[in-house]
A and B are shown apart, each in its own frame.
Chain A
């Protein structure tokens, strides 16, 4: 059963050492109890987020500045990835992955008939689901407003004058 689901959660038993081996999470204010847990923001999430500062017309995509990145292994589900791709802004994904140095061999343009291209889907899966930001910023491209990512949680709250 577990193998069939796309594995949005890392399978802790097998992947645990890898997570522990990742040193990026050990500095800053990340408490010890979090170290063995996945506390990051995925690039798939980044692809959905936009700046919502009042009056902004061109708030997408948010510029990604990562101080800590973690790469984790997540079960690959080709159907899940193939169905997710049409919902993505492909260029935004490429830009974000490139800005943090994790584009790898992912094509800059969507390839035709990607649904049946397992190699492509695996690369997309890796960038979407396995590259994660622990600490950093999301920056509004129009206003330069920075939204901090701490402990893997983007804080997108606006101040009163920004609503």
Chain B
């Protein structure tokens, strides 16, 4: 044995060579790693047990190889390997054997391929008192998951493969047979479409299910593994190294029970709960896996693309070794579903998500409901958090208010937290808002407010000198209601009185300048690789679900739901109301850029005129409702599964918005009798109009 380090020299020498020093250092490091990972300390005394660094499954070392190496040095009792760990535990019957193994392997690079398959591996050993007990994996299968081993005989398996007619080499493929990126696929009964993860239920494939699978289906039925006879089969063939991404079979496409027969090599299927819990399940050859209930509807399943799987040692379930994958052919049996899914797991259920997502209203009643749920209720729920993000009046709104003389009567319709009510202290400012939560906040600030709807303001006709409607009219969900709101505003004005209206603009880039709402996008999304497509469904026709906007992206549609996220530390108001959301977002982004606090500085430059401000980056002027988006950029998490979790502690609220296109607000105002548009401009991502009541 041409070991670079010899037992005797190690014990005798007091002066260490360079390589010995290195080995000593590495051994120390391995000791620390073990302490960190397992919370156990190595022993300075010789014991029966050893921990061998760099001999773990994650080093690509096989248990069989270790066994071969270590059994030569004594009475080897056990080798324990843990998934994903860079070490193995070796136990001997006596201390002497362990000491011999220590002497033989510590700090020594193993010869490849004679000793180890993996090249350039050096073992570092330490004695330990006791091998930490490993959690037994595989016993607690996800609820609803069953594994039937040896479901078919080798002869039956051979007949199935023969019936399938696939040779191992890639031959020409028929229509229903495709080579996907990660595997080879063939469909029977119905074709599974990978573009929409569904089947064309009214287009069954000719021929139905082939005869050669009938015995298998009969057996599944007669033995009671499934209740309903499958009418669709998908066959997948995986080469070693191929896999399938984690997924839940589309709820609306298939009934509850989905079974999968594995032929050829074994594999490990990974099941994952939305909470993050992972259960790897070994699928031996000729086994049948049946997914039902929670395992079918809630857990994702997938196969990691790799050539080696860590699997428990047969008969010694506590030990894990690596198993080399071989070509595996799986037969998945499913039954087409013809009614919408009504499972208990709506967050993964496409049928139920479609129902919960609101659509554009078709009737006045529906319009009221949509606004009640996705405007009024949301503002009640987020009132205090919303208010805490609204400090700074917008300079041009303040300018408008400042033109009113002493003793003028000004109404702010939709006053929010009342940040404009004190802008001109010479006038009598009367605010109102639909949200009593926000009205209460105004009250706490000693402002004069009442609660009402902007379409029906209980103020005498012609009583007010001026009115403002800032970031309000975009919350009405039909053209009629938006018109009604402008008419109501006009009604309040005295002859010659003026009203200023701000609405959020569809165009967030104007005259080649991006609004702050978009500008901050780059800053916040730096390195964010999520897809930027702004909306989930793009249809805007009636009946279709409203798209959910991705914060800080340009608008793709005019009508949408805009998410409001509570930041860390911000708590929902304790008003006993239900969160107004339950619409999962599919924005596909995971990163949560924190808001830029500079946007909500308390500094207000009320004394500056608009000219000074117009070319200044928007650091001071903030808009009371839409700056929410600027400041609230925590994006939705991608998977709806994580939304399910998220909704517990970090509720997401969706507000309805109709963003206005260039000229649209003007047109709306022009259709109101008795007023004329006297000014219009674009300000910080908003369309703005001043109307005047005719004399």
Q: Report which A residues bind B (CB closer than 8 A).
A: 5-6, 8-10, 33-34, 37-39, 41-42, 44-45, 48-52, 60, 77, 79-84, 87, 89, 147, 151-158, 160, 163
Contact = CB atoms under 8 A, between A and B. Distances in A.
A152 to B, nearest CB: 6
Given A37-B444, A152-B443, A157-B451, A52 B428 contact: no
B428 A8 contact: yes
A33 B407 CA distance: 31
A44 B410 CA distance: 12
Contacts of A157: 434, 451-453
B376 to A, nearest CB: 10
A9 B456 contact: no
B425 A158 contact: no
A147 B458 CA distance: 11
Given A153-B439, A153-B450, 10 more contacts: A41-B448, A50-B460, A52-B457, A83-B405, A87-B494, A153-B440, A154-B450, A156-B450, A157-B453, A158-B456
Nearest to A155: B451
A8 B407 contact: no
B202 to A, nearest CB: 42
Contacts of B409: 48, 84, 87
B450 A45 contact: yes
A33 B422 CA distance: 21
B3 interface: no
Contact of B460 (A37, A48, A81, A156): A48
Interface in B411-429: 422, 425-426, 428-429
Contact of A45 (B405, B440, B448): B448
Contacts of A79: 406-407
Interface in B443-498: 443-444, 446, 448-453, 455-460, 463-465, 494
Contact of A51 (B406, B443, B458): B458
B368 interface: yes
B439 to A, nearest CB: 5
B642 interface: no
B407 A84 contact: yes
Contact of A156 (B408, B422, B455, B458): B458
A3 B430 CA distance: 22
Contact of A80 (B406, B439, B460, B464): B406
Q: Is the interface of B mostly helix, strand, loop or mixed?
A: mixed
Contact of A48 (B408, B426, B430, B449): B430
Q: Pick from A34, A38, A83, A158 the residue with the most CB of B within 10 Å.
A: A83
A147 B446 CA distance: 21
A91 B426 CA distance: 25
Given A79-B406, A83-B406, A156-B451, A50 B429 contact: no
Contacts of A38: 446
Contacts of A51: 458
Q: Which of A42, A156, A160 has the most CB of B within 10 A?
A: A156
Nearest to A163: B456
B456 A52 contact: yes
Contacts of A151: 440, 443
B582 interface: no
A81 B465 CA distance: 15
B408 to A, nearest CB: 8
B436 interface: yes
A153 B449 CA distance: 6
A135 to B, nearest CB: 13
A5 B451 contact: no
Contact of A10 (B407, B439, B446, B459): B446
B215 to A, nearest CB: 63
Given A50-B460, A87-B409, A80 B426 contact: yes
B430 A8 contact: no
A10 B408 CA distance: 19
Given A38-B446, A48-B460, A79-B407, A8 B425 contact: yes
B429 A8 contact: yes
B433 to A, nearest CB: 10
Contacts of A49: 450, 458-460
15 contacts: A8-B429, A39-B446, A41-B450, A45-B450, A48-B460, A48-B463, A50-B458, A50-B459, A52-B456, A82-B407, A83-B407, A89-B460, A147-B458, A157-B453, A160-B368
A39 B443 contact: yes
B439 A87 contact: no
A72 to B, nearest CB: 10
B458 A37 contact: no
Contact of B407 (A45, A48, A80): A80
B66 to A, nearest CB: 69
Given A83-B405, A155-B436, A48 B452 contact: no
Contacts of B368: 160
Contacts of B456: 52, 158, 163
A89 B452 CA distance: 22
B407 A81 contact: yes
Nearest to B407: A83
A125 B426 CA distance: 14
B453 A158 contact: yes
B426 A5 contact: yes
A45 B430 contact: yes
